Structure formats: C-alpha cells, structure tokens
Amino acid sequence: MPLPDFLCVGTVKGGTTTLHDILKQHPDIYLPIIKETRFFDESFEKGVSFYERSFRGYKGQKLIGEIAPTYMYPPYVAERIYKTLGKDIKIIFMLRDPADRAFSHYLMAKTLGLEKEDFPTAVNLALEGVGSFRDYIVRGYYANQIINYLNFFPKENMLFIIFEDFIKDVRKEMEKIYDFLDVEQDHRVNFNIKSNQARKIKSTWLHGIYRQPWLDIVRTSTPYSIRTRIRKVLEKAIFEPVTAKLDVTMRIKLINIYRSEIDVLEKVIQKDLSHWKHVDNE
C-alpha cells in the first residue's frame, strides 16, 4: 500500500482542518478517512503496516497526503517521518500568530471540558507547566520546531503558509499549495470553507453522544460526502460559535513572550512577521 507523498504537520489551531476539507475535494489527492491518524506521535510502535491501513481507500490518485497538526511539536516526530517516508516527502506548515493560536487553543480546551480557568490564569499555569493539556504557549514556539525538521529534510521540500494570509485569500494561498504539490487547480473545489472554528457546547447531552468511541466506526464506514453532511447537522445542534476576543492586556503579555521567538522565526522561514508583534493585529 502506498504511503503519503506529503504531510501538513501543523500547527494546532492553524487552519489545518479547513485545508483538509479543501484538499479532500481534489480528484488528484487522497487523504485518509480520519483526518489525523496520529501515527507518528502516538501509534508509531504499531508499525508501518498499521499506518498503511489508514490509506486503504486509495484508488490511484496522483498524491497521498495526511493533515496532522500534532506532528509539528513533538521533537521525535520529524526523525520518525524521515525514517518511514524518506527525505523527499513534502511538508506543509501552517503558522498562526502565536498569541491568537494560544487563545484559540485555550477555547478548544474549554469546549472539550479540559480547561476550567479563565485565560489569564490558564496562561500563568501553562507557563508554570501545570496541566499536561496546557501546551497553549509552548506550541507557539515555532522556530525550534521547524529547525528540528530542517535537520532531516531540505528546505525546498517545505512550504510555509501564514494563517492570516490563508483566511484573507484562501484561493491565492491554495494556488501556492497546489503549485508546491504539483497538482492542477480544480475549479470544482469549494474554497468557501471555514472548518473547526471556535465554539462552545450548547447541548451537553448531545455532545456526550457525539464523543462516543463507537461513532468512529460509523464515521469510517460512511462515504465522505454523507459523513460531512451528518457532521455539520450534528455540530450545529451541539455547538454554537464563540465570539470571545483576545483582550489587549493579554495580547501585550503574549507578544512580549513571543517577540524574540518571532524574530528567530522570520530568519528561519524568510518571511516578514512584523504584524504578529503589534497589539492591533486583528
């Protein structure tokens, strides 16, 4: 069974679900039934044959890929990818203003019921290393994560997409991705997608059912188009949008935390990220 030709390795809360839902529509690209196999960070000891089963639906498309935002942060993942898929694998990074990413990650943890504290308290606890799920801050230290990948893969095999550019002009950024992957743009693809937006639970009962493990079997045995429609109906009943914004005080605090990191990142990926260093970044 063929293995991936490309990976999008992160970052968490960086727009990777939207990218997945767009790439999934392209006739030349095959993505696994479940968006994140978690093979390289959680299931590596199960072996390549286990990973291959994630792509059993492959029907001869030009490319196979996986969108896996959890692969960017753990320091051991890059080497595992190198040993399994080789140095020629293409890698996409989607990078979001680390202050906004941290806040969005916090909101996700609140939705999942992991986080009980307000954001300022949660940030302080994260900085103190309290709570293994509170990796809101450390996942925003992108430079070292990318440098770790550069230890194994050539830079020309990497593409860096900035989240703010992506949501501003999805079509333009997707053209960069298609060029990078060497596939033609398909005009039937719907770019008007915003997946996995910040939300909160409005029906605890339905949410409990929605998260039952047996639903994974239903998800994997149902055609993608039908599964997507069902998911949208269920999520509309269970969740409602979150309109909370990162306040100025916390933005300033996070900018000060990340400023030197952003300076290094600009040199590593050779992009101007000065807009991440200003309070008025909206």
**DSSP H or E stretch at residue 216:** helix 214-221
Q: Residue 21: name the closest of 211, 220, 189 by CA.
A: 189
**pLDDT per residue of the chain (282 residues) written in tens, 0 to 9:** 789 999 999 999 999 999 999 999 999 999 998 888 999 999 999 999 999 999 999 999 999 999 999 999 999 999 999 999 999 999 999 999 999 999 999 998 988 889 999 999 999 999 999 999 999 999 999 999 999 999 999 999 999 999 999 999 999 999 999 999 999 988 788 888 776 555 555 555 555 555 555 455 555 556 655 656 666 666 666 656 566 789 999 999 999 999 999 999 999 999 999 999 988 754
Dihedral sign (CA 276, 279, 281, 282): positive
SS3 content of the chain, % helix, strand, coil (to 5): 50, 10, 40
- The token duo for 188 is 């039937």
Decide which of 3.20.20.10, 3.40.50.300, 3.40.109.10, 1.20.810.10 is the CATH code for 6-198+242-272: 3.40.50.300
> Domain limits of the chain?
6-198+242-272
